Amino acid sequence: MRKKLFLLGSYLDLLRTTIFRQTSFAEFELEIHNRVEQGQPLTGDDLCNIYYDIVKKYYGHDAGHCVVDPYIQYEWSYIPHFMGYTYYVFQYSTSLIYATAFAEKLLMKEILQ
């Protein structure tokens, strides 16, 4: 039973870090790319505010589900995906969703046979 709980917990953590977190990263990337394409200059404070607003939205801060400390606004600055890479973090989420659906179909086929 402990092994099963460990595996389930590990899978849930994978979903949290890959689907939930990477999707929020992708939203941040999209927002800053859109603003630059519209000719808006971005300062460090702008990036902090954009990132903080997205994190608060994802964690339900304003609805009272989870308190997001203000220091998290700086997190974007040490995530290497945002520095010198093209817009791609959305691929982590889409790949895991596809792989999970594919594995489920394989398992269901195996179970039904």
pLDDT digits over 58-112, tens only? 999 999 999 999 999 999 999 988 887 777 888 888 898 888 888 888 888 766 6
pTM of the model: 0.81
Of the chain, the percentage scoring pLDDT greater than 90 comes to 58
Q: Cα–Cα distance between 62 and 57 in angstroms, integer?
A: 7
CA dihedral (22, 23, 24, 29) positive or negative: positive
CA dihedral 77, 39, 88, 79 (to 10 degrees): 0
Tell me the CA end-to-end span of the chain in Å, nearest whole number.
27
| Whole-number CA gyration radius for the chain | 18
- Would the pLDDT of 47 be above 70? yes
Length of the chain: 113
Give residue for tokens 């520095």.
83
For 89, residues 6+ apart whose C-beta sits below 8 A from its C-beta are: 22, 25, 26, 29, 81
pLDDT-wise least confident of 10-19, 31-40, 77-86, 93-102: 77-86
